[in-house]
Amino acid sequence: MPTHSHASTLALSVGSALQQTEPDVEVIIIGDGVTEQVRKAAVALAASDERVRFFDHPKGENHGETYRDAAIREAASDAIFYLCDDDLLMRHHVADLLELLKTHNFVQSKNGYFTVDGQIGPYPGDLAEADTIAQTLRHDIVFSVVSITGTAHSREFYLAGEPWTTTPPGEFPDHHQWRKMMRRPEFSGATSTRMTALQFPSSSEGRDSWTPEQRVAEIAEWAHLAATDEGMSRVDELVARGDRLTLIRYLAELTELRLFRLRRGQVIAHNLATFVRRLPGARGSRRR
32-65: pLDDT as tens digits = 999 999 999 999 999 999 999 999 999 999 999 9
Residues 50 and 177 in one domain: yes
Higher pLDDT, 117 or 247: 117
Q: Could you give the 3-state DSSP secondary structure of residue 212?
A: helix
Q: Are 152 and 266 within one domain?
A: no
Which CATH number belongs to the domain containing residue 67 in this structure?
3.90.550.10
pTM of the model: 0.86
15 and 120 both lie in a single domain: yes
Range(s) of the domain holding residue 156: 2-227
Q: Can you tell me whether residue 234 is helix, strand or coil?
A: helix
* Interval 215-264: pLDDT, tens: 999 999 899 999 898 999 999 999 989 888 877 777 777 677 666 666 65
pLDDT, tens digit (0-9, with 9 covering 90-100), for 166-185: 999 999 999 999 999 999 99
Please check whether residues 161 and 237 belong to one and the same domain. no
Look at residues 207, 227, 247 and tell me which one is the last residue of a structural domain. 227
Read off the pLDDT band of 281 (50, 70, 90).
low
Q: Which secondary-structure segment (H or E) carries 37?
A: helix 36-48
Amino acid at 172: F
Pair 123, 264 in one domain: no
Tell whether 196 and 247 lie within a shared domain: no
Number of domains in the chain: 2
Do 11 and 134 belong together in one domain? yes
Asked if residue 162 and residue 59 are part of one domain, the reply reads: yes
- What is the rounded CA–CA span in Å between residue 159 and residue 28? 18
Q: Which residues pair with 197 in a beta bridge?
A: 89
Same domain as 204, residue 87: yes
Handedness of CA 105, 110, 115, 117 (dihedral sign): negative
DSSP sequence for 240-279: HHHHHHHHHHHHHHHHHHHHHHHHHHHHHHHHHHHHHHTS
Q: Are residues 273 and 139 in the same domain?
A: no
CA distance 268 to 270: 5
190 and 280, same domain (yes or no): no
Q: Return d(Cα 227, Cα 224) in angstroms, integer.
A: 6
